[in-house]
Amino acid sequence: MIHSAVFDYRIPPSIYANTGGPMSRTRKEHIASSLLGQDDGAIRCPRIIRLGLKFKPRSNPLNVLGKLLKSNGYSSPEDLRNEFVTPTIRLICRPCKDESFRIDVASCDPRLVLEQALMLGLCTAQLFDPSRPILWTETSVTRALELFDPSGFYS
């Protein structure tokens, strides 16, 4: 137990994180694998879907989606909940570096664009939550994400 008389709150906590040996024996490890995307085995976290929208350069993604929403007869993003079937459980999200799967907003079927925008609005950078409000921000609708089902990991 650390007594407050000995523990100085002005000193950064990293100084108190002693590894038990001299600094010459410390090392860094880089993680080279992931459980995400595993479809078989004892631990499964299969990829469910990839999400990503591609907007024209210098366009305002929120204005583009707002116009698309109105032109298809919807008054708000919340109206899309009743139109599309989305996963009913929380999913793990991970940024996706592969840009090739993004759908082009200007040339793609508007229903597919709105479905992807709905799901992106239910995501944070790490979590898809179907019970959260649909939040369209420039950051949320321009993300490229992979969604994984964690039920095989936590079951």
pLDDT tens-digit map of 142-151: 999 998 887 7
Q: Which residues contact 141 (CB under 8 A, 6 or more apart)?
A: 53, 61, 62, 65, 117, 120, 121
pLDDT tens-digit profile of 83-121? 999 999 898 898 988 888 899 999 999 999 999 999 999
101 assigned to some structural domain: yes
Let me know if residue 59 belongs to a domain: yes
In eight-state DSSP terms, residue 152 is H
Instruction: Classify residue 3 by burial, with Cβ atoms within 10 Å: 0-12, 13-18, 19+.
Output: exposed
Residue 36 lies in a domain: no
User: Which pLDDT belongs to residue 19?
Assistant: 59
Least confident of 23-27, 35-39, 49-53, 97-101: 35-39
Domain of residue 109, residue span? 47-154
Confidence class for position 64, pLDDT limits 50, 70, 90: very high
Asked if the structure places residue 75 within a domain, the reply is yes
Contact, 90 vs 127, CB < 8 A? yes
DSSP state of 63: H
Question: Which pLDDT does position 97 carry in this prediction?
Answer: 84
Per cent of the chain over pLDDT 90 is 54
* Total of domains in the chain: 1
d(CA 51, CA 102): 7
Domain assignment of residue 81, yes or no: yes
pLDDT of residue 129: 95
Q: What is the mean pLDDT of the chain?
A: 81
Give a yes or no: residue 127 inside a domain.
yes
Kindly state whether residue 68 falls inside one of the protein's structural domains.
yes
On whether residue 128 sits in a domain, the answer given is yes
pLDDT at 4 over 60: no
The pLDDT of residue 7 is: 55
**Higher pLDDT among residues 140 and 37, named by residue:** 140
Residues shown for the chain? 155
> What's this model's pTM, rounded to 2 decimal places?
0.72
